[in-house]
């Protein structure tokens, strides 16, 4: 399994892996439950974020043996927006149609909490999403992908930032050199979200 940069034709596979991995996430699982309990909106929801980052050339993946994305990391470079204004409008329309008014309002509040917590300086790489396909969990490939990406950023002297929405993953990020720098709680159920920062490793 080799590590490579995702191309536009990989968007479907990357999106599928993220949707499967985050279906039961402690924060995003409850936040994205539709009014009728359906899940048809999840793939288009995550696709917006994948398409935005693929355009920057900062999505990495390890291919699975059957054409699936075994593990993926969605990064954004310094100063880049996650979504274009057009994508933001389309995403809002999708969620207005899928969620109850109360849950849509909670989603908007949650998104604002993420935005408010995000540091603006110094320049850094932002790990928007890290996901492993359920069929490839437990093999350490997500940790490997993360380590290889971080090694590249270290060469450029770039720190990295993320929000961990699952406390079970915090120790994995710590192993990669991240440290907690803050946090907040999800709107609907108070699930903890930990903000984490990693200074670039000294490559000398």
Q: Residue 202: what pLDDT?
A: 76
- Can you tell me which residue has the tokens 């000398």? 204
Q: Look at residue 203 in the predicted model and tell me its pLDDT.
A: 58
Per-residue pLDDT of the chain (204 residues; tens, 9 = 90+): 678 999 999 999 999 999 999 998 999 999 999 988 888 999 999 999 999 899 899 999 999 988 899 999 999 999 999 899 999 999 999 999 999 999 999 999 999 999 999 998 999 999 999 999 998 888 889 999 999 999 999 999 999 999 999 999 999 999 999 999 999 999 999 999 999 999 998 755
Lookup: tokens for 20: 């499967």
* End-to-end Cα, the chain, rounded Å: 29
pTM as predicted: 0.94
Element (DSSP H or E) covering residue 59:
strand 59-63
**pLDDT reported for residue 162:** 98
CATH topology of domain 3-160: Aminopeptidase (3.40.630)
pLDDT of residue 160: 98
Domain ranges for the chain = 3-160
CB neighbour list of residue 74: distance below 8 Å, 6 or more residues apart: 14, 18, 49, 50, 53, 58, 59, 127, 128, 129, 130
Task: Write down the pLDDT at residue 36.
Answer: 85
Q: What are phi and psi of 136, to 5 degrees?
A: -125, 15
């Amino acid at each position: 399994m080799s590590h490579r940069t995702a191309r536009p034709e990989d968007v479907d596979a990357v999106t599928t892996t993220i949707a499967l991995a985050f279906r039961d996430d402690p924060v995003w699982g409850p936040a994205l439950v539709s009014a009728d309990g359906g899940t048809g909106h999840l793939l288009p929801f995550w696709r917006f974020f994948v398409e935005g980052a693929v355009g920057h050339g900062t999505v990495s993946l390890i291919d699975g043996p059957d054409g699936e994305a075994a593990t993926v990391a969605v990064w954004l470079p310094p100063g880049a927006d996650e979504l274009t204004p057009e994508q933001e409008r389309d995403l809002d329309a999708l969620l207005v149609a899928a969620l109850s008014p109360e849950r849509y309002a909670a989603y908007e509040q949650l998104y604002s909490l993420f935005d408010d917590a995000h540091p603006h300086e110094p320049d850094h790489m932002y790990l928007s999403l890290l996901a492993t396909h359920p069929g490839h969990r437990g093999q350490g490939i997500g940790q490997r992908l993360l380590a290889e990406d971080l090694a590249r950023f270290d060469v450029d002297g770039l720190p990295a930032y993320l929000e961990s929405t699952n406390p079970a993953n915090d120790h994995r990020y710590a192993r990669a050199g991240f440290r907690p720098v803050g946090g907040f709680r999800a709107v609907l159920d108070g699930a903890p979200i930990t903000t984490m920062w990693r200074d670039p490793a000294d490559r000398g």
